[in-house]
Structures are given as C-alpha cells and as structure tokens.
Amino acid sequence: MDKDLASIQEARDAVKAASEAWKIWSRASQFDVDRVCAAMAEAGFRASERLGRSAQEETGFGIAAHKKLKNEFGSKAVWESLRSLKTVGVIRHDPDRRLVEIAWPMGVIAALVPSTNPTSTAFFKILIAVKARNAIILAPHPAAARCTYEAALVMMQAAERAGAPKGIIACLQQVSLEGTQALMSHRSTALILATGGAPMVRAAHSTGKPAFGVGPGNVPVYVDRSADIEKAARYTVASKAFDCSTICATEQSVIADRPIARRLLELMQAEGAYFTSPAETEAIRKVLFLPDGGINTALVGKPASYVAGYAGFHVPENVRVLVTPLDRIGKVEPLSFEKLTTVLGWYEVDGWEEGCDHSIALIETGGKGHTQIIYAQDEHVIMAFGLEKPVFRILVNTMGTLGAIGLTTGLMPSLTLGSGGIGGAITGDNISASHLMNIKRMAYELRSPPVEAMLPGEIPAGPKPEEIEQLVRQILDEILASKSVS
C-alpha cells in the first residue's frame, strides 16, 4: 500500500479506537483517573534515562543527560502539578453565587509532537490529556518517530496495567503529513494540541478544529546595571547550553546595560561563552540560516564546537555557547531571530529604557507573546519590563529554559507554552490539564426577575392588508419590467 494512504488509514483507525475507549474513560472516577496517571508518571520517570538517550540518538539534537532531565520533568514534575486537580464530577461550588461547576472532557485529542523535545513532550501531553479524561493520539515528527512511539508505549502499557481502556493512548507509526492531516481533521477529533514548527501549528489552526498552538520564541535577556552580574552570567550560559538550546523559551539574545557589559562579558567567558570576531560572526550568519530565512536543520541542537566547525573556525573544547556581537535587529540581521542551537546574540545599551526598546524589537522580530527575561534588583525596572513587554512570561532573575516551563519558577509545569492572541495562539498560559476539559455550570436563581420582564407589554401591530397588497403589486411590476427589458 502507498505510504501516505497507509498513514491516513492508521490515523482513521486510531481515532475510531480512541473514540470507543474515550466513551469508557469519560465515565471514570477521580480515583481511577488518578491511579492511572500516577502509574504512567512513575513508568515515564523510570524510563527517562533510556528515552533521553533514544531521543538524542535518533534526532542528533541536544544532550542525552539533559533530555533525561526533561523526561523526568515531563513525567514526575508534571504529575505533581496535576495530582490535586479535580477533573471528574463537581469540581467547584460557590454557595454565594449559587454556582456548581462540573468537569466535562473534550474527547479525542490530536497531539503534534516536535523533534526537539519528543519524549518529554509525549509524556507531558499524555498525562494532561488522560488526567482530564480524554483520549489522545500522538503525531510524531518524522525525525523522531521511533523515540516518540517508545515514550507513548511506556505510558500506554502503564495505563492499561492500571485499568485504563485499550486505545485511550495511541501514537502514529506510519508518519506522514497526509496522515497527520487526517488525524487533525477527523470528525471525531475534538481538539488539537500542537507543539512544533510554525507550518505545522498553522496547519492545526487551519483545520477548523479548536487548537492550542504555540508560536516561536525569540527570548531576549536584559541584564540591568542593578543585576547580580555573576548569577546572570552563570544562568544565561548554562540555560543557552542546556540540551543545545532546543527549548523554545531558551535565551536568544543578551541585552547588556553598558556600565556592566564588560564585566558580564568576562564572567560569561569564564562560564564557557566564546565571543566571536566579526569574521566568525559573518561565517555563522552564512551557515545558520537558509536563503529563504529558515534555519539550517543541520545545526539545530548542536554543540558550540560543532557549529563553529561547520562555520569554518575552531573554538576551545570548553566552549559551551557562541556569542555573536550585533548592532541590528530584524530582517537585516538574521542572527536577531530565534536560533535553535548554541548561538546567542549580544547587544549593548545605555540604560533600561533602551534595553526595553531592544527587547520589544527582538520580540517583534519573532517571539510575540512568548517570553522575556530580566536580571535586575531594581524593582522599578523589573515592573516596567513586566508592564510593557508584549509577552506572557516575564522571568525575573532565573534562566529561560527551565524557568518558563515551570521547573525553577511558580509557573505551571508545561512543555507547551501559549503565546496569546498577539502570538497567534488562543491563550498565553502554560498549557495543562485544566485547558483540556470543559466546565458545565449549574446556576440557581439569586434574585427574582424584574417586574417588567413578567408583563406582556404592547405587541406591535402587523402590516395592514392594503400595505401587503401594495408590496405584492410592486414586486410583480419589478418582475414584469425585468422580463420586458431582457
């Protein structure tokens, strides 16, 4: 059979099976839901190291040990954030407003999984979907089809052993664009959970189905003169180097306040940052992006030494990040865009107001609605950034990679970060199980209706017979006139 046709048929069969399983799972008790989710989280956590290696080997992206940490986050940390969430029956009661809220699942969810974080995203999406009593079908990226399926299988087997119906979790194995489209557009698919490149997210939104899609991140880091410079240097380099910059909330450009810029540079060098010469910057610029503006996938998620070698120059073995000094933003400077690899832009500004302007320009270049990072001790400056930036995550004195996903902050643990309406998404939240269920509301009367609402009032009179006759005659005259003209 033709591969595309086989993929389409697999998607259809998966949705049919998931729909039948969901009819059973939608009636599960909270106890059963939590028992199944706990079993899946534990199984995922135990498999984190193996699947981290599998993801790195299959995709060639990132660092296996860092992928292990992301897998642990996508299983254990995500489950801990969901453990106490009510998703069955009455979930809230407001006696003052006489409102009763009842959870109701969505149905079958189609989940697109990226190649940059394939196994951790699979864990995360399965947990939040099943916790909300949905069925879920994963559509892997072709470059990560095997490891994504392995992650889904771990969850699938654990769920079934704990009593979940067979078919509640599935993962496409015959991966194609046509199969993914068939999955997303199937009449029994209730919602699409899209994490991946811009083309796939646009495709999800174009199906006519409800969709949670996330935009790209082009995260600026402003380091103010009031900042803890040592911490800013240490965190920025470590975060940018983490898994070779494959998380969308990773730092993309540092904006250094000029009074502390030299010291920040020196401290970042001590942490493993290599500041490129103009010639080396130009070499990176030429190889990192394609003529159409897209990123060269051969350099996605690669160590700094690999990127430098690809660009034609050598760096010491201890280098973790390549930092390119820049003075332009936008289409005239490709390196001001998102760089899913160990390349970091560098700008210097005079004061936080100019830092604010640079941040907004970078966000407008490709990270609308996503994330901004600020290192500062001056609360006035911090609040100014929080109020003015067109993003929905402002991280203060913490790293982008792990802060935005909720590992080092109080944000909801998530591997799907909404960018809000400004970024083309339906929400700016960190997506979780609460987004994957509807709420029914029982509303009791609080007050009697106004007296006027109970009175019949004056009923408008209809048209008079002579008015109807005149209107009919006018219509007939227009018809006859049009025929005589033709």
Q: Tokens for 219, please give them.
A: 């995260």
What residue ranges define each of the domains in the chain, with the CATH number in brackets?
Answer: 3-214+432-440 (3.40.605.10), 219-413 (3.40.309.10)
The 10s digit of each residue's pLDDT in 31-58 is 999 999 999 999 999 999 999 999 999 9
349-355: long-range contacts (C-beta < 8 A, 24 or more apart)? Answer: 349/255, 349/256, 349/257, 349/258, 350/257, 350/258, 351/257, 351/258, 352/222, 352/224, 352/257, 352/376, 352/378, 352/381, 352/384, 352/385, 355/222, 355/224, 355/255, 355/257
Three-class SS of 213-261: ECCCCCEEEEECCCCCHHHHHHHHHHHHHHHHCCCCCCEEEEEEEHHHH
Output the pLDDT for position 409: 97
Using left for φ > 0, alpha for ψ between -120 and 50, and beta otherwise, residue 439 falls in beta
397-415, pLDDT tens digit by residue? 999 999 999 999 999 999 9
Q: Percent helix, strand, coil in the chain (nearest 5)?
A: 50, 20, 35
Mean pLDDT of 55-71: 97
If we measure between CA atoms, which residue out of 181, 160, 144 comes closest to residue 62? 144
Using CA atoms, how far apart are residues 290 and 171, in angstroms rounded to an integer? 32
Whole-angstrom distance, CA of residue 237 vs CA of residue 314: 19
Say if strands 251-257 and 99-105 run parallel, antiparallel, or are unpaired. Answer: unpaired
Q: What is the pLDDT of residues 343-368, one digit of tens each?
A: 999 999 999 999 999 999 999 998 88
Under the banding of pLDDT at 50, 70 and 90, the label for residue 2 is confident
* Residue 1 pLDDT > 60: no
Please report which confidence band the pLDDT of residue 197 belongs to, taking 50, 70 and 90 as the band edges: low
For residues 151 and 51, the answer to whether their CB atoms sit within 8 Å is yes
Beta bridge partners of 90: 102
Span 289-328, pLDDT tens digits: 998 888 999 999 999 999 999 999 999 999 999 999 999 9
Q: How many CB atoms lie within 10 A of CB 329?
A: 21
d(CA 39, CA 313): 49
Instruction: Give 430's DSSP letter.
Output: B
The one-letter code for the residue type at 120 is S
Predicted confidence at residue 486, as pLDDT, reads: 54
Q: pLDDT tens across 109-122, in order?
A: 999 999 999 999 99
The whole-number average pLDDT for the span 278-289 is: 96
Q: Are strands 189-194 and 108-113 parallel, antiparallel or unpaired?
A: parallel
Q: How high does pLDDT run on average in the chain? A: 94
| Distance between CA atoms of residues 327 and 136, nearest Å | 46
Could you tell me the two tokens for 420? 């809000």
Helical (H) or strand (E) element with 152? helix 145-161
pLDDT of 453 higher than 70? yes
Q: Which of 147, 171, 244, 248 is catalytic?
A: 248
For the chain, the straight-line distance linking the first and the last C-alpha, in angstroms and rounded, comes to: 58
How long is the chain?
A: 486
* Mean pLDDT lowest among 63-72, 224-233, 237-246, 419-428: 419-428
Sign, CA dihedral 267-268-270-275, equals: negative
Amino acid letter, 354: E
What distances in angstroms separate CA 246 from CA 300, 340, 350, one per listed residue?
A: 8, 6, 31
Catalytic, 248? Answer: yes
pLDDT (0 to 100) of residue 26: 97
